[in-house]
Amino acid sequence: MTETRLSFKEMCAKFDVTPRTLRYYEYIELLRPEKEGRSRFYTPREVARMTLILRGRRFGFSLEEIRQWLLIYEEKGTGAQMEAWIELADRQLAELAEQKAQLDATIGELQALRDDVAKQAGG
C-alpha cells in the first residue's frame, strides 16, 4: 500500500518542501491527507494537487487563487476549472508583462546611469 501513498516525510522529500509548508497547505485545506493515528499519508490525488499548487506558485498565483481554482474542480468539474484557469492565466500573464516592462525600464535606467558614471570616472 505504500506504493500508492506517500508518508509525510516522503511527501516533503518528493516536492522539496519543509514540513511547515506541508502542514500549512493542509491547514488552509489545499491538501487533505489520509490520517491514521498521528501519521499522514498522501494519495495520488494529493500528489497531483501538490504538483498543481507548486506550479501555480511558480507562476505567481496566490495560495487563495490556487485554493479557489482547485475548489472549482470539486464543485463544478473539469470544464469550469479549465475556464477559470484561462481567466487566471490571462490575468497573470498581463501582470507579468507589466512587471517585465517595469523591469526592462529599470534595467535601462540603471545601465544608462552606470555608463554615465563610467565615462566620468574614465575621462
pLDDT digits (tens, 9 = 90+) for 14-44: 999 999 999 999 999 999 999 999 999 999 9
DSSP state of 31: -
Residue 50: CB atoms within 10 Å: 20
pLDDT (0 to 100) of residue 19: 97
Mean pLDDT computed over every residue of the chain: 93
Cβ 20 vs Cβ 14: under 8 Å: no
Indicate if the pLDDT at residue 62 is higher than 60: yes
* Distance (Å, whole) CA 113 – CA 98: 23
Provide the 3-class DSSP secondary structure of residue 107.
Answer: helix
- Averaged pLDDT, 52-71: 93
pLDDT (0 to 100) of residue 123: 59
Q: What is the DSSP string of 49-95?
A: HHHHHHHHHHTT--HHHHHHHHHHHHHH-HHHHHHHHHHHHHHHHHH
